């Protein structure tokens, strides 16, 4: 009986420790993950770039000197607008799922590319990762979120973008998978910019001087 109780407490302790580590990581990288560009008012897409000389030669009737000058001026004007974007003072809402999922499908589909990018992970690690359980996360513990206001994923239908608030998107995060040294990791980041479209990425992270930073965010697919 004592051994069973000890085992239960051990499991709870391990789970609590894992949650604390993942909360610490998310607090360190959250603003960078979502992106401070959302602090600024949106602007129109940039003008198309001027193509290479070989492309210009294929279609000289379109790419005249006047046309190239026009596109160059548009590009300069756009750069100026981008540098001087106004701050968006609306409430910035992010809806996040309160559970870090063990994304076994993405683990199985991307393990080779992940090992190629970071050799501190091995194939055996991924076999172990497949056994992870999903982990609940308390949004109240995510405090270093900048200007973003966190809400439950399920509450997204209760809000809409207005002149006082802006819905940034919905976020689904996987468990954070660590190497043996516990100084590097990765996770899967699903950002839904509207209910029907999402951008799924694998995010590589590293601990530097006690703080976690994003090394690379690599797109997997857009749906």
Tens-place pLDDT, residues 8-37:
444 444 445 778 899 999 999 999 999 999
Torsion of CA 78, 84, 85, 90, to 10 degrees: -170
The two most distant CA atoms of the chain are separated, in Å, by: 86
Tens-place pLDDT, residues 98-148:
999 999 999 999 999 999 999 999 999 999 999 999 999 999 999 999 999
Give the mean model confidence (pLDDT) for residues 67-83: 90
Of the pLDDT bands very low, low, confident and very high (cuts 50, 70, 90), residue 3 is low
Tens-place pLDDT, residues 183-199:
999 999 999 987 778 89
Mean of the per-residue pLDDT values for the chain?
89
Spatial separation of the C-alpha atoms in residues 170 and 96, rounded to whole Å: 6
Quote the pTM value: 0.80
CA atoms within 13 A on the CB side of 147: 16
């Amino acid at each position: 009986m004592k051994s069973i109780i000890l085992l239960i407490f051990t499991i709870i302790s391990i789970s609590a420790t894992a949650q604390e580590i993942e909360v610490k990581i998310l607090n360190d990288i959250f603003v960078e993950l979502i992106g401070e560009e959302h602090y600024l008012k949106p602007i129109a897409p940039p003008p198309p770039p001027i193509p290479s000389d070989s492309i210009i030669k294929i279609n000289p009737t379109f790419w005249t000197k006047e046309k190239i000058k026009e596109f160059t001026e548009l590009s300069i004007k756009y750069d100026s607008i981008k540098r001087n974007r106004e701050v968006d003072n609306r409430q910035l809402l992010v809806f996040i799922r309160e559970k870090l999922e063990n994304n076994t499908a993405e683990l199985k589909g991307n393990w080779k590319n992940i090992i190629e990018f970071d050799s501190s992970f091995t194939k055996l690690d991924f076999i172990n990762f497949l056994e992870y359980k999903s982990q609940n996360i308390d949004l109240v513990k995510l405090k270093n979120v900048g200007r973003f206001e966190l809400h439950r994923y399920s509450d997204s239908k209760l809000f809409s973008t207005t002149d006082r608030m802006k819905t940034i998107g919905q976020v689904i995060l996987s468990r954070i998978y660590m190497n043996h040294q516990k100084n590097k990791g990765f996770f899967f980041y699903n950002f839904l910019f509207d209910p029907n479209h999402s951008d799924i990425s694998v995010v590589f992270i590293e601990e530097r001087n006690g703080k976690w930073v994003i090394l690379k965010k690599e797109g997997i697919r857009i749906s």
